[in-house]
Structure 1
């Protein structure tokens, strides 16, 4: 079953016989302003908008079945991943879609010489005045301002398309979509901090304080998590054998950056063979690893990801750092995806200039080159610790991006995202209100994105319970942060998840009215699995401290899966790719440490509970590396 968001794009079920009398239908509507935005004024009618029409992709209704065909362990095509060329060819919009949209625009008075089709044929672009755009889309454009940053944004409340055109268009930008620049998942920070402005504003690392003594013995893992604790927890004893064939990528968004001095300080204590070693930098859209602004707000996330990601895969395996966005403007997930997949991007029409970083950057000190498009072969495993609240973005915007994660899965890439640090609440502790708005006193559970996309692997957080041994069962993280989890309001439940989630809803029905959570049983549930996210020792600004967050869990899982890829590559097999159909399959049922303690409170409730089997707090549980390694080595 495809994501519900894809279905929202098909707003009519038939095409009228005579397009010339085709009535208009509402294509997308926004019911409330995102938090922090306020209406300022009507937009000037003679101003120019870069209108972009995202064309409906061919075969998108077959996306899940295509992905399952190469990802399910019982499929005869398991591991037969697609080439980028096959992906581009399979999902390119049809000639009919291109013709219908062009004919409508020309028939509406737009000179054909003004229309540009992107090289990938995914977008039609026209620079139109606001007056023209409002006439075409039967809408009204307004200017909005952000309370904290003063950033201005252009948007409309809703827009319309002719009924015969609507099925051929996924989304139009700019329209109802608001600022998509990124928010970090963590790591968690409980002390005072200064606000970091856009781009890439984070929720602030949650850091519980500096530590004067490193507790390196395994009996202290309930107080300080170190690489040795993680190896003991998950049985990670492995030396890479095929590192030159393998790859692991960690994503950071400028201005977040690592400090080499902190990396070396960490490694002097935990892995001397890594001292002086840096990640392989892939700078996307003029990105820099900036060192002008330092401290936990700027270095906590990247330091954490790289210190543990690099340590766990050892000095034998190179780690790639995807640093995204220049300093003045920053970037969005789409800018990363552009660089990873040339079929996703287009210099002349791929991204939304009001949502995504657009290059050349006109701002002072901005990157003046063309946007990076298909510049690097994606790593076998990619971990990201940034995300949005699902209602921050429209169903169409999330659907198009979620489809791209599926395409990466088709190409054999494992994509991991942290599930969030606020339990059933969203970033910033925001919950939804009955009208769809978000606030700290809201009562409705607020899922995250991309965590709710069915084509990524969502990673939650656990903890060594206070006073427990490293050999004792972990619980869900309930110190400083709470593992993000729940049900998407945009995406349908994927086939691979139906049995596990159905069992949870039958055996452990949550005690909440359906008015505050998606209780239908037909939507995507998350997370998929978990790893420790509490009391991590990191070096930052020349000192050691403790951090918490699912942003720690995701790179740890990424490192473990990278080692499994290494073992497969060493015996001539292919990378594991999209793992969800495999990890939910019966043959992998005992491949995880089941977590049965703890919850993920939020929105004024205790949240959900950890239970036997899959649950919306810790997913399937934490990795049992020896068992997972053996199981994946048996697959084709």
Structure 2
């Protein structure tokens, strides 16, 4: 989207006003506000007036309740509609705004000299996108934008602490961003060892003890009971991998990875394909190889080979450089990625999707979190299993009761009260995605201490997990008093599942290194689900789609229960893994053979 033509920006505010807009003009009132920047963010300077913002206006979706009911129906075993996923047009009809909303928002924009020809609209008309300078955005939203700096990373964002809308538009507009969102979309991984790692021959039979020290695709297939199962490469099943922040997936590194650890894939010329979103790139310079991207593609492909894998590289992300008059905007790439995916035809969509990025829930304004979460519901209704890493900070910052912090604690609310609090992760806390926690070791497999887990403060506990989560809290009543005020016991609980997440052997820059994080468990679990979808599709059945209603009713019987470990954070021990579901490892880790028998019993 090009910056609005100068002539249009110089028009008097009411030069293009329609009779409808004049009839509905009303005073501005605050739509959304923050008392202060989230912890770790500080004011840097006023935003340059000519800095371009790619503004997205989310119109209300009056029929979303019908879409949500359809999602439950097509995702819940025993329902007459189970597996009958909705098509693109069906979903768009259910989220389309009311005609009055469309007309009133158009009139408001015209009042500010913005021609309708400058707007871009989503297929369902529920998002309006336009690129305009900060000065015009400030007039449109009755606000002032500033540059904020994230002290730990040095990243910058152009944001505001509040914005307003004409009073008559509040019922028609859910959210306007970028405005009050400070999420950084951080990858959930860390490099453990930069030095080359010695590998056993790929032809060596898998030895369980070796998998306690280094994880390879062979380890994962053994631990999760894949056996000799070989999926189809041509059934139409696809696995998607979301990438952001100029994390580039390197094909040479991946080919070397396959040569050493999955030679049959290398011999077949197996490789992920790439789709670029919002001016995204995927540099193949060896020095540009991304640790997160390589981890994702090598293990998603390593588990699911020969199922086609697609790496989606989304541009449009921070950092913004405040000292330069740069044309780079600072929009949240989630919005661009979701717009791209939802515009795809049903045939083009992957059946499973892994994302290893996220941030603290409280850095995402409630209204925006709900809209993003609702878009994941749309993907689920169309038959896509959406997985997210649960995070790497346990219940907050990963610090146990005996640890020392390097700086001020981050386990504080950003509501202006600075109250001690566990920090839920988003989008893992969205009830329409499957959150993947972490484990390590095997025989027995146990919770890795950094496994993100807990309870959302934004989203209430969904019905599908009422019995499991209620049972956990009833069996562990001490948490309600010990952690009183630190978490919301009535919130959506996560993770839902888990998988290995430590000591993953990754080829990066031509060398094998070890990496860890729920960034590793998420593509691993997604690879297993892609195998399950293959089993279903080749048996003439629909793919699983949104997993959680299935998972919490019958699917969990195909999982290995993890009962050892905890997830410390915020100077506490966090929660304990235990029999059944728990907020450290969810239902545990997948057993492919057991799951296959559940979904295709004959």
| CA distance in 1: counterparts of 2:249 and 2:129, whole angstroms | 38
| CA distance in 2: counterparts of 1:47 and 1:319, whole angstroms | 37
| CA distance in 2: counterparts of 1:152 and 1:611, whole angstroms | 41
Give the counterpart of 1:542 among 510, 519, 525.
510
| CA distance in 2: counterparts of 1:151 and 1:303, whole angstroms | 23
| CA distance in 1: counterparts of 2:446 and 2:380, whole angstroms | 30
Per mean C-alpha deviation after superposition, the further-off stretch among 282-291 and 43-52 is: 43-52
Contact 2:112/2:140 (8 A) holds in 1: no
**Aligned 1:233-632 pairs, distance under 5 A:** 233-237=223-227, 238-241=229-232, 243-275=234-266, 276-292=269-285, 294=287, 298-314=289-305, 316-325=306-315, 332-342=333-343, 377-425=348-396, 431-436=410-415, 443-464=420-441, 470=442, 472-478=443-449, 482-509=450-477, 510=479, 513=482, 516-519=485-488, 521-585=489-553, 587-632=554-599
1:175 corresponds in structure 2 to 179
Give the counterpart of 2:160 among 151, 156, 165.
156
Alpha-carbon spacing, 1:40–1:81, altered in 2? closer, same or farther (3 Å):
same
2:218 corresponds in structure 1 to 228
| CA distance in 1: counterparts of 2:53 and 2:249, whole angstroms | 37
Alpha-carbon spacing, 1:132–1:221, altered in 2? closer, same or farther (3 Å):
closer
**Aligned 1:18-97 pairs, distance under 5 A:** 25-42=29-46, 52-97=56-101
| CA distance in 1: counterparts of 2:295 and 2:90, whole angstroms | 37
Alpha-carbon spacing, 1:493–1:77, altered in 2? closer, same or farther (3 Å):
same
**Aligned 1:84-123 pairs, distance under 5 A:** 84-103=88-107, 109-111=111-113, 113=115, 118-120=120-122, 121-123=125-127
Alpha-carbon spacing, 1:220–1:399, altered in 2? closer, same or farther (3 Å):
same
The SS at the match of 1:388 is strand
1:542, CA displacement in angstroms? 2.8
Alpha-carbon spacing, 1:549–1:136, altered in 2? closer, same or farther (3 Å):
closer
Contact 1:114/1:126 (8 A) holds in 2: no
| CA distance in 2: counterparts of 1:126 and 1:522, whole angstroms | 38
1:211 corresponds in structure 2 to 197
1:443, CA displacement in angstroms? 4.3
1:512, CA displacement in angstroms? 5.3
1:367 corresponds in structure 2 to none
Cα deviation 1:396-427 (Å, max 9, x = unaligned): 22111111110001110111111111111159
TM-score (norm 2): 0.83
Alpha-carbon spacing, 1:124–1:264, altered in 2? closer, same or farther (3 Å):
closer
What value does the CA root-mean-square deviation take over the aligned residues?
Answer: 3.3
The SS at the match of 1:164 is helix
Identify unmatched segments of 5+ residues in structure 2.
1-21, 320-327, 400-404
Cα deviation 1:200-238 (Å, max 9, x = unaligned): xxxxxx447543353852232212222222222211121
| CA distance in 1: counterparts of 2:521 and 2:384, whole angstroms | 19
| CA distance in 2: counterparts of 1:538 and 1:119, whole angstroms | 40
| CA distance in 2: counterparts of 1:564 and 1:222, whole angstroms | 26
The SS at the match of 1:432 is coil
Per mean C-alpha deviation after superposition, the further-off stretch among 382-391 and 402-411 is: 382-391
Alpha-carbon spacing, 1:154–1:308, altered in 2? closer, same or farther (3 Å):
closer
Alpha-carbon spacing, 1:71–1:376, altered in 2? closer, same or farther (3 Å):
closer
Identify unmatched segments of 5+ residues in structure 1.
1-17, 190-205, 343-372, 465-469
